[in-house]
């Protein structure tokens, strides 16, 4: 059995108190939300800080105000929010296939967006990691997945919420020692499995904000994983379309679980503006996404298979958006 190491647990009641506690810990801390990801990493010795700052008692983060969703909302609270799901039905599909019901009861929105990247090399017990030799993300000399990479980690991002928010035009609101700022979700992530995103260590992810025109985007999230009970995605896509009559006024595409960030593909999407969403266009968009993504061997399934499946997932998403019904698996 893996034992949780000892640490000091702080319980601030406001965002300001949380940031002050982080300052006091001088970089040797982690924020804690539901703990479904973080505490596993403590047990595995991947995180080893002496102070943990719980955000569960920060009231302003635990509610939704219109299009502003508090970072502390649990995934199950969002799943039970009928008004939100009616406005943004794509999240029904996202949440139904995200982890397991038990994990969704505890895991939060912010924790999901900030989910650490994962890699078949690193995400093992300390015993196994030491036997095989450490890698860049664990103070080793080089990446073990992409041989010769001395400065970049290729671990996989597989959080399911961020890509869906990306195609709806959402931003994240961060609060830190220098005040508040809002960052579009499309520029929040940074292409490195260690650095992961632009949030500074002491900043709290307070909320996710959707723009007022987000309801005009028809969206779909499609995910492929080995065990449907709770596995992380091996490949997934988020697709959003704004229509002008039967033509594509704007297409938004994200490839997920194919890199260390959700991959936003504006250039690929722009080439389809003005086209009708017929079968030929759907196939062409699927092929373009397959060509654009380049997964590496950081998950269980071979990269070449995941690359092909990205296109298949895009076709399913677009047919769901066009026809208004879920596409059966295998179609």
Ligand X SMILES: Cc1cc2nc3c(=O)[nH]c(=O)nc-3n(C[C@H](O)[C@H](O)[C@H](O)COP(=O)(O)OP(=O)(O)OC[C@H]3O[C@@H](n4cnc5c(N)ncnc54)[C@H](O)[C@@H]3O)c2cc1C
Return residues touching ligand SF4 (CB under 6 A): 119, 121-122, 135-137, 143-145, 153-155, 193, 298
**Residue that has been written with the tokens 């039967």 in this structure:** 246
Give the x/- contact pattern for ligand X in 33-72, rule: CB under 6 A.
xxxxxx-x--------------x---------------x-
The minimum distance between CB 34 and ligand X, in angstroms, equals 3
DSSP-H helix ranges across 155-302 = 161-167, 266-270, 279-292
Exactly one of 159, 176, 255, 262 binds ligand X (CB under 6 A); that residue is 159
DSSP-H helix ranges across the chain = 15-24, 38-43, 75-79, 82-87, 90-96, 101-106, 109-113, 126-132, 161-167, 266-270, 279-292, 303-323
| Contacted by 222, from ligand X, ligand SF4, none: CB < 5 to 8 Å by type | none
Q: Measure CA 143 to chain center.
A: 22
Exactly one of 21, 110, 119, 166 binds ligand X (CB under 6 A); that residue is 110
| Contacted by 236, from ligand SF4, ligand X, none: CB < 5 to 8 Å by type | none
Q: Taking a C-beta distance cutoff of 8 angstroms, is the pair 137, 59 a contact?
A: no
Helices 279-292, 303-323: axis angle to 10 degrees equals 150
The minimum distance between CB 302 and ligand SF4, in angstroms, equals 16
Exactly one of 25, 78, 84, 111 binds ligand X (CB under 6 A); that residue is 111
Q: Taking a C-beta distance cutoff of 8 angstroms, is the pair 313, 236 a contact?
A: yes
Q: Is 120 in the site for ligand X (CB under 6 A)?
A: no
**Residue that has been written with the tokens 């993300």 in this structure:** 137
Footprint (CB under 6 A) of ligand X, residues 174-213: 204-205
Q: Is 261 in the site for ligand X (CB under 6 A)?
A: no
């Amino acid at each position: 059995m893996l034992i949780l190491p000892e640490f000091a647990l702080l319980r601030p009641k406001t965002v300001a108190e949380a940031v002050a506690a982080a300052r006091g810990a001088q970089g040797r801390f982690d924020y804690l939300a539901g703990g479904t990801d973080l505490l596993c990493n403590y047990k595995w010795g991947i995180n080893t800080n002496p102070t943990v700052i719980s955000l569960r008692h920060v009231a302003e983060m635990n509610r939704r105000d219109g299009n502003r969703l508090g970072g502390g909302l649990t995934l199950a609270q969002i799943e039970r929010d009928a008004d939100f799901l009616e406005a943004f039905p794509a999240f029904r599909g996202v949440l139904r296939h995200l982890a397991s019901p038990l994990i969704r009861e505890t895991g939060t929105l912010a924790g999901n967006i900030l989910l650490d990247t994962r890699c078949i090399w690193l995400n093992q017990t300390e015993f196994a990691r030491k036997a095989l030799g450490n890698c860049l993300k664990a103070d080793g000399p080089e990446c073990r997945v992409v041989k010769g990479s001395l400065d970049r980690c290729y671990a996989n991002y597989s959080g399911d919420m961020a890509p869906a928010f990306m195609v709806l035009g959402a931003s994240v609101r961060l609060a830190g020692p220098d005040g508040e700022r809002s960052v579009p979700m499309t520029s929040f992530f940074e292409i490195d499995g260690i650095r992961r995103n632009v949030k500074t260590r002491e900043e709290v992810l307070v909320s996710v904000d959707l723009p007022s025109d987000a309801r005009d985007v028809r969206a779909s999230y499609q995910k492929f994983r080995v065990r449907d009970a709770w596995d992380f995605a091996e490949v997934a896509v988020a697709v959003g379309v704004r229509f002008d009559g039967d033509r594509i006024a704007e297409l938004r595409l994200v490839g997920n679980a194919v890199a260390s960030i959700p991959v936003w593909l504006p250039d690929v999407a722009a080439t389809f503006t003005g086209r009708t969403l017929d079968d030929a266009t759907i196939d062409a968009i699927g092929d373009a996404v397959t060509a654009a993504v380049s997964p590496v061997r950081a998950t269980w399934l071979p990269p070449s298979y995941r690359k092909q499946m990205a296109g298949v997932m895009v076709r399913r998403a677009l047919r769901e958006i066009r026809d208004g019904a879920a596409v059966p698996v295998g179609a």
